[in-house]
A = this chain, B = another copy of it.
């Protein structure tokens, strides 16, 4: 077994080598996809071991996320092929100036270096993350959840076979072999070896990283998203947007958890919301809401909870500033939406709500790399530095200034 430190040292060395060009990377990605398909049997065997270990220990929903079959592996391979088709984000000249002293200063996009990803038990994250990191020129170090470890190992083995078949250093894709908590801590504290750590998972994982990481991290994915129904809202539209944002896929981070309603339209809107949701979504209301509809009384936690379920907290606000203040106090800065036909209200909301994605008259469910036209995503950043919202290939690059002179001194 390789230790985490050994794997990181190899990764760092690999990141220092001359990087493959776009054509080489694309060829390698296709070979990785082919290898994944070719190794389907081994991957399914490994997955069966994971499933057996996990049976009875994790929920049916989590078990289903863990389970692979031929078609799921085929779609992982397809995912890799689609990354090959995306533009290479590296080597772009982002800015170029020639200074009066003759120095030419170019700002050029370059890979970040060693990107570590800590995730949970979805085996497809293994191939998705590896493909995105590789296409953007990074060396990835994957740390799978324990439940999916054998699946992840088989997938990484296949991906590395693909790299080797394409004549590329297989150490571009690495899997941490220690599945104890220690290896997560090792990644968080690997200063000088990990250039970026991306935690992909639940609140506990993200919080542990924020609390303990000494390497740069990007927080992803916790979404307490709000829909604010303004007094100038089209209530039919509002109802459709709230319904879609809450129920189209409640388990994802861009699903809405909270609905805020302007006092002047509350008595018109809330009974319709109650009708729409009554058998499908549990509404938890503040006092004003509970006076108007038979919602369950919300407790103190409900406005700070990412339910990821058919539950929605609902509050009445005095006006748009009340909505903005509520969001400032409770949001995770992921996605919020205002439903309004008043341009001034829309402008105030988008100017003052400090979230990665702020919507006017649309569902928060669109905060997604594919929906934004990025073609893919590594996660949704909810922090403000470096990348905000869906992180595509460009967000997996940094830049370097290259300055060319002919002897300039200062």
With contacts A103-B366, A113-B354, A350-B402 known, is A216 near B385, CB below 8 A? yes
Which of A45-53, A234-242, A262-270 participates in binding chain B? A234-242
Number of interface residues of A (CB under 8 A): 71
Query: Is A372's CB under 8 angstroms from B384's CB?
Result: no
Distance in Å from the Cβ of A59 to the closest Cβ of chain B? 26
Which of A34-42, A178-186, A301-309, A393-401 participates in binding chain B? A393-401
A273 to B234, CA, bound (A): 77
Query: Is B410's CB under 8 angstroms from A244's CB?
Result: yes
Asked whether A225 is an interface residue with its Cβ less than 8 Å from the other chain, the reply is no
With contacts A210-B214, A385-B196 known, is A366 near B403, CB below 8 A? yes
Asked whether A176 is an interface residue with its Cβ less than 8 Å from the other chain, the reply is no
Contact of A214 among B211, B324, B350, B357 (CB under 8 A): B211
Taking CB atoms and an 8 Å cut-off, the chain A residues in 339-387 that contact chain B are 346, 348, 350-352, 354-363, 365-367, 371-373, 383-386
Query: Is A361's CB under 8 angstroms from B407's CB?
Result: yes
Asked whether A85 is an interface residue with its Cβ less than 8 Å from the other chain, the reply is no
Query: Is A16's CB under 8 angstroms from B354's CB?
Result: yes
Chain B contacts for A324, CB-based, 8 A: 16
Asked whether A1 is an interface residue with its Cβ less than 8 Å from the other chain, the reply is no
A243 to B325, CA, bound (A): 57
A401 to B325, CA, bound (A): 20
The chain B residue with its CB closest to the CB of A363 is B409
The chain B residue with its CB closest to the CB of A399 is B388
Chain B contacts for A229, CB-based, 8 A: none
Asked whether A24 is an interface residue with its Cβ less than 8 Å from the other chain, the reply is no
Query: Is B404's CB under 8 angstroms from A361's CB?
Result: yes
Mind listing 18 A-B residue pairs with CB under 8 Å? A105-B372, A112-B385, A113-B354, A216-B383, A237-B407, A243-B409, A248-B410, A355-B400, A357-B400, A358-B403, A359-B404, A360-B404, A361-B408, A362-B407, A365-B410, A385-B385, A386-B386, A388-B400
